[in-house]
């Protein structure tokens, strides 16, 4: 028996989740718009409800993953729409979303649809998340992780960020696969 992380991922029966539901172009557009709005609302929750809202903002990855599972184009549309909505309702999240939760959602959806096993999904999405965080910290010099993390490159800090990215991506991979399994059951 293969280890959990090497087990093959369940394959999608068709290229599009919406096609399996029988969605026409209007339904697809509404679904993508809804996922974009949901992503922006979850991401901005921390600004509206400090404390519990920060826990809700973690959920902004889920609609982005679903959109990227529909198609890469849909995922990119949700990503762009969420950025525009965040510009209007919570501009302070514009540094965080595009480089962390949004990028993670795109990477997860893309890799789940195209990878053969969990380890490939986790590694690809962790690398994307790590690159996004590193870009904000070291290139843009924005204190994304707070004042205690130095803005100058440090190999130890970069390693810890990558290890965190691996863990966070592994958690979101399992959550995403469970959401996908439930969607498959409800469509049948």
Query: What CATH number matches the domain at 13-187, 1.10.390, 1.10.1760, 2.60.40, 1.10.287?
Result: 1.10.1760
Question: What pLDDT is recorded for position 27?
Answer: 85
What is the tens place of the pLDDT at every residue in 135-183? 999 989 888 878 878 888 889 999 999 999 999 999 999 999 998 888 8
Question: What pLDDT is recorded for position 39?
Answer: 97
Question: What pLDDT is recorded for position 81?
Answer: 98
Output the pTM of the full model: 0.89
DSSP 8: B
Rounded to whole angstroms, the Cα distance separating 67 from 19 reads 13
Question: Residue 44's closest CA among 91, 10, 111?
Answer: 91
Question: What pLDDT is recorded for position 15?
Answer: 47
Confidence of residue 188 (pLDDT cuts 50, 70, 90): low
Token reading at 46: 């921390």
DSSP 69-111: HH-HHHHHHHHHHHHHHHHHH-GGGGTHHHHTHHHHHHHHHHH
Give the domain ranges of the chain: 13-187
Question: What pLDDT is recorded for position 169?
Answer: 97
Using DSSP's 3-state secondary structure scheme, residue 172 falls into: helix
User: Is the pLDDT confidence value at 85 over 90?
Assistant: yes
User: Is the pLDDT confidence value at 125 over 60?
Assistant: yes
User: Is the pLDDT confidence value at 128 over 90?
Assistant: yes
Our measurement of the distance from residue 44's CA atom to the centroid of its chain's CA atoms, rounded to an integer in Å, reads: 15
Q: Are 42 and 59 in contact (CB under 8 A)?
A: yes
What is the tens place of the pLDDT at every residue in 13-65? 544 565 555 567 888 889 999 999 999 999 999 888 888 888 999 999 999 99
Mean pLDDT of 87-114: 94
Question: What pLDDT is recorded for position 150?
Answer: 80
């Amino acid at each position: 028996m293969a280890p959990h992380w090497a087990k093959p991922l369940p394959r999608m029966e068709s290229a599009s989740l919406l096609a399996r539901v029988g969605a026409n172009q209007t339904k697809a557009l509404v679904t993508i718009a809804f996922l974009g709005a949901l992503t922006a609302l979850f991401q901005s929750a921390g600004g509206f409800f400090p404390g519990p809202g920060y826990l809700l903002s973690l959920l902004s990855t889920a609609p982005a993953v679903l959109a990227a599972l529909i198609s890469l184009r849909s995922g990119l549309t949700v990503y762009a729409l969420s950025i525009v909505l965040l510009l209007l309702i919570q501009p302070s999240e514009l540094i965080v979303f595009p480089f962390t939760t949004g990028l993670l959602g795109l990477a997860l959806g893309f890799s789940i649809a195209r990878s053969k096993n969990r380890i490939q999904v986790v590694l690809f999405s962790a690398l994307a998340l790590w690159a996004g965080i590193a870009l904000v910290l070291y290139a843009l010099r924005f204190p994304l992780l707070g004042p205690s993390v130095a803005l100058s490159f440090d190999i130890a800090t970069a390693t810890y960020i990558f290890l965190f990215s691996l863990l966070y991506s592994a958690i979101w991979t399992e959550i995403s696969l469970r959401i996908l399994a439930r969607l498959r059951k409800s469509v049948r």
